[in-house]
Amino acid sequence: DQQVKQNSPSLSVQEGRISILNCDYTNSMFDYFLWYKKYPAEGPTFLISISSIKDKNEDGRFTVFLNKSAKHLSLHIVPSQPGDSAVYFCAATRNTDKLIFGTGTRLQVFP
């Protein structure tokens, strides 16, 4: 049973527009959420995170929103750039070091 779900395998966005990547989770005990970005032939790199006591965290062009009642989080990238083209993984944890990952969403930003 998948506890972290990314239902959109791919997303295509024009450069300069907003990219919105979504993630749903089933375990209400998760208390920390992370987004990772992965280029081909490289390991994932940490992008941004949010604690369950917050509903928004912003870092430059990246903002993560958390809706606990809906068990949903989203990553907004504004403005999108071609270098943002990568696979984005959502991950969650329940006060441990074990991260539960989603299956990833491939973002393509075109000119």
Partner 1 sequence: EADIYQTPRYLVIGTGKKITLECSQTMGHDKMYWYQQDPGMELHLIHYSYGVNSTEKGDLSSESTVSRIRTEHFPLTLESARPSHTSQYLCASNEQGPAYEQYFGPGTRLTVT
> Footprint of partner 1 on this chain (CB under 8 A)?
2, 4, 9, 32, 34, 36, 41-46, 49, 89, 93, 97-104
Closer residue to partner 1 (CB): 14 or 45:
45
At its nearest, how many Å lie between partner 1 and the CB of residue 36? 8
Give the separation between CA 82 and CA 26, rounded to whole angstroms: 32
Closer residue to partner 1 (CB): 62 or 101:
101
Closer residue to partner 1 (CB): 20 or 99:
99
Residue 77: CB atoms within 10 Å: 23
Query: Residues with Cβ < 8 Å from 52, sequence gap 6 or more?
Result: 30, 31, 32, 33, 66, 68
Reduce the DSSP state of residue 11 to 3 states and report it. strand
At its nearest, how many Å lie between partner 1 and the CB of residue 38? 8
